Chains A and B, each alone.
Chain A
Amino acid sequence: MKKRLVVLGILLTIISVSAIGCYTVLTHPMVQGEEAEAIDHTGEYYREHCTDCHGDYHNYPYGFYYGYYPNYYWSSPRWGHYYAYPWWWDRYWWDTGENHYDNETVQPPESSEKADRRRGMVPPYVPPSGSTNTPFVLPNTGTDQQSSQGQQPGTVQPTPMPKQDQEKEQPKDKKAERRRK
């Protein structure tokens, strides 16, 4: 019995590792020569607009997945939210879509690994013209509204930029410097 389990474990590990290498990617791959411009204030590598590289990305509102979603996800987005909207794109409790960061009693927490990761994984819709912010799907919408682009499920709104982030100077990019060495 133990021998079987060991063989099974090894087999599953090999399958899992090779399978992940085939297609599934856990983090955005590094792009040579773009590190400097794609490092955020925590030193993490990211691309704010994945559409810079992936022009058709807005066709996949639930992520970089080439699968198929039923049409009613567009008219009734709560189905899409339940079955297709990745949990790591969720907004935080303080981020209700209203610019309430002026309120001193409600402050976003300091940057953490989780927060940075989630921010980096915001659905990369094409920003509305004239906007410099990344739009996102409002997860708590239960209405049948169409997006501003006319094809994304859910309501698309500009991302509120935390006030302190706007005022704060970008920290020195030590991680990028290390990479360049």
Chain B
Amino acid sequence: MQRMHHAVEITISRYFLMIRRFGMWTAAALVFMLMLSSLALAQDESAVYEPTAGNFFVVGARTLAMGGAAIAAVNDATALIYNPAGLARITRIELGGSLTHQRTGNTSQWQFSSSSFSGPHQNNTRFGSANLALPVPTYRGSLVLGFGVNRVQSFDRTMEFSQITPGFEGDDSEEGMESEAGGLYLWSLGGAVDVSPNVSVGAAVNLWSGKDDYTWFYERTWGMPPGYVLKYDDHIVDRYSGFNAKLGVRVQPTRSIVFGGTIDSPVTLTIKEDWNYRTTEDGDVTVDEGSSEYKISLPFSIGAGVAFNLNQFTLAGDVNYTDWTQMEYKRLDDVGEANRQVKRTYRDALRLHVGAEYLIPQIGTSLRAGFYRDPLPFRSDLVGKNRSFVTAGVGFLIDQVMTLDVAWAHGSWELQNFLSQGLTEKYTADRLFVSVAYHL
């Protein structure tokens, strides 16, 4: 029971706890600028951060270059992720894989400070995907099976801040760094079949698996009494597992238009957690550690896409809707409070993806560009700027059996009053994907 209680406090309200531990000191610095009552109100409206919510990481270089628009336009084995019905258009045995590289940057700024602080960049090179598509020989129509593992969520990021607050008898200084690494992989098994000349349906069963490695370092030094130091060094490791399914349909009523639709079933993730809290206060060290297990249910997600094929030119667009207020924690002692925080923090989100591809057949080259808006799923007062990316890329067809795709994306977003009242967190991300596919 005690462990379960810790799980609620530390993981479900991970940020809530940080605000309480970290914000109580910040309050002293802000007391001259804010009314105590408004500060107390802000503390009550702290946010819950659940990394698996609204954190989609695009799969495949071609799709990234096209702004993530793939529900109707996908033409390779990554259809397992975007729209399983798209598998039906694969006629050759396909082996594909990708690598991803992400460089994230961060800048923090306090509400009444004129200067900002830029933390170090975090670089992460990860295995992105490996997929196999196996078309079954058919006399008419299409039947294709697929299997793959794809990294669909990335937790990689760093946020650092530092400030010096003038005190009555010497300056106070504080600095902190929040660092997170890991991601979620989907192990997918799926298939697609033509049910009419122009309609394909598909389905995939997904096994979710992944890890989130979170560290929080905070140090505050007071001018008075001189040398008094408070330091937190916390480490939380979450391991995720769960199942869900995805259904898709692909319709091509005319030569130049393709429609697609998908439904992701809810997924209940089991989270096994280990934590270690180390607090140093005026030379005294205390350690609190333990492990626990709980669950979180992520809601339905619905997607729709359209692609216009004008011979060598393809224009594609997707929308994807998820109501994150339906996210729900389970098997917790304080489940009511945790889910109340979820409903107060989260909202529904509509992802928009637009992309284009121009193909130069004579030289086996495709040029691509796109844009996508992936709104942060938090209530509006916590979001300074919504997450959006511009993308570009190029693809090559090599000797009619192999494709090589390279894509780049640049995005930025901004959180405010999230980690602590008065703190603005600005993030940038540059993503570089390389994908290779081989047709047997």
Contact = CB atoms under 8 A, between A and B. Distances in A.
B252 A68 contact: yes
Residue among A72, A75, A139, A144 having the largest count of chain B Cβ atoms under 10 Å: A72
Given A25-B141, A28-B139, A66-B198, A85 B243 contact: no
Interface residues of B, number: 45
A8 B189 CA distance: 13
B335 interface: no
Contacts, number: 122
A92 interface: no
Interface residues of A, number: 45
B403 interface: yes
B400 interface: yes
A23 B140 contact: yes
Contacts of A66: 197-198
A82 B401 contact: yes
Interface string B165-205: 00000000000000000000000000101111110010101
A67 B139 contact: no
B199 to A, nearest CB: 8
B237 to A, nearest CB: 23
A58 interface: no
A83 B201 contact: no
A87 B439 CA distance: 9
Interface in A63-77: 63-68, 70-72, 75-76
Given A70-B311, A87-B135, A78 B400 contact: yes
B320 interface: no
Nearest to A139: B400
Given A70-B311, A75-B361, A79-B397, A25 B138 contact: yes
Interface in A22-44: 22-29
A10 B256 CA distance: 35
B197 A23 contact: yes
Contacts of A65: 140-142, 194, 197
A8 B205 CA distance: 9
A99 interface: no
B91 A24 contact: no
Contacts of A67: 89, 197-198, 252
Interface of B: 75, 89, 91-93, 135-143, 191, 193-198, 201, 203, 205, 243, 245, 252, 254-256, 268, 309, 311-312, 359, 361-362, 364, 397, 399-401, 403, 439-440
Which 3 pairs across A and B sit closest by C-beta, in order of nearness?
A24-B141, A78-B400, A66-B197
Interface of A: 1, 4-5, 8, 12, 15-16, 19-20, 22-29, 62-68, 70-72, 75-76, 78-79, 81-88, 117, 121, 139-140, 142, 144
